Structure 1
């Protein structure tokens, strides 16, 4: 189906669409077209195989130039998650992970409510052949699974992006946010949560926590899923980083307030 209205206002915004190591430029282009169809505009690319920019992607985007031209390139998924508070990982396969699982409609309703408060959201899509790894899903924290034929569950990238984009457009923001309370403190961004993961995992490694070693990856994924359930604020992350630092034996920062408190508590000479 073709057709555009040059007089209509272009709808942009919505959650960031993050493609992890996409192979073909054509797949990136058709995903960008699906985004533009339903009002999404932020495309993040993690290490595309054929490099970026890619003329084949632009040709396949059916003039979704505002998506293609503003796409951002990242070397790692951790970098691509920067600035995001809520991230979904898409998969059609069951995963042995203790993270929240949603259908596309519920996920995009939650995303609309989240974005309406001024927070940021992203949706991860995996490689054409192998999808996302469990470690990558653990970085996202929540899963979106598609209700597909279990005997034929494979979706290409553009199809998966189209499904999520359609549900984004279909979600009624006024209805979804009527009972949503703005958090008193800003929720933690993904880079802050990843920093906590790396800090904690380094401390646990030094303490010889990961035993036996061959189970380390599963233990790390389980720990990350546990922290994703918390809904932590930026302040929470700062406190937890301080706790881990204290357990590592670091001195607590000697601030003027702490100095005054210690002087007041000291016995007279």
Structure 2
């Protein structure tokens, strides 16, 4: 019988609509981060540098591949440190180093359920993020889904966003009882042709419905980074603890089936 069809009823009884089938997901791609050293070059690029004008928003860190490493306990760790490395940042000699990796030109995925189990650092001036950008390089077709990005001066707040070339089109947040640095959480989005839903530990806290001019219909690549400073989080202060670590336990992507 087709899902959603009406079930035949005895004479005199009212027919009841069958409950809509629950969406099913099958694993499509996963990363478990086993071992030591650099993450697999088959899937991950490690950034090196401070970008243009601090990646466009005056970030203070210099990304060094040595600060994005597997720790031997099953996690990829992005480490932010307060130290000089002899390199130049947009504002002069770099004062911080950190880690950033992405799957640009190596791996991309379309609609699906994206989940990362991570422990995020907190502290003024820290900006950890797991996000995605479209592979399509045409500016008019740009789309970005921030599975989670949050700032360390709001230690209990989970935040997720969506952007296009025209700007921000969705935003949501949720306050947890404990700081994000207190333990691991599952940060996820369900991205389908109908829209996007943001969750933390399975709890929905934001959504975006498909709209006219929808550009969230192309494959995206993944980005993990731990930024220091910038226009949103501001500069670290004396209370910000270094080294700060963003620990990624695993990433799993699911395709909808059935």
TM-score category, normalised to shorter length:
under 0.3
Query: RCO greater where, 1 or 2, for CA within 8 Å and sep 6 or more?
Result: 2
Mark the structure with the bigger radius of gyration.
1
Q: Which has the higher strand share?
A: 2
Q: Which has the higher helix share?
A: 1
With structure 2 as the length reference, what TM-score do the two structures score? Answer: 0.25
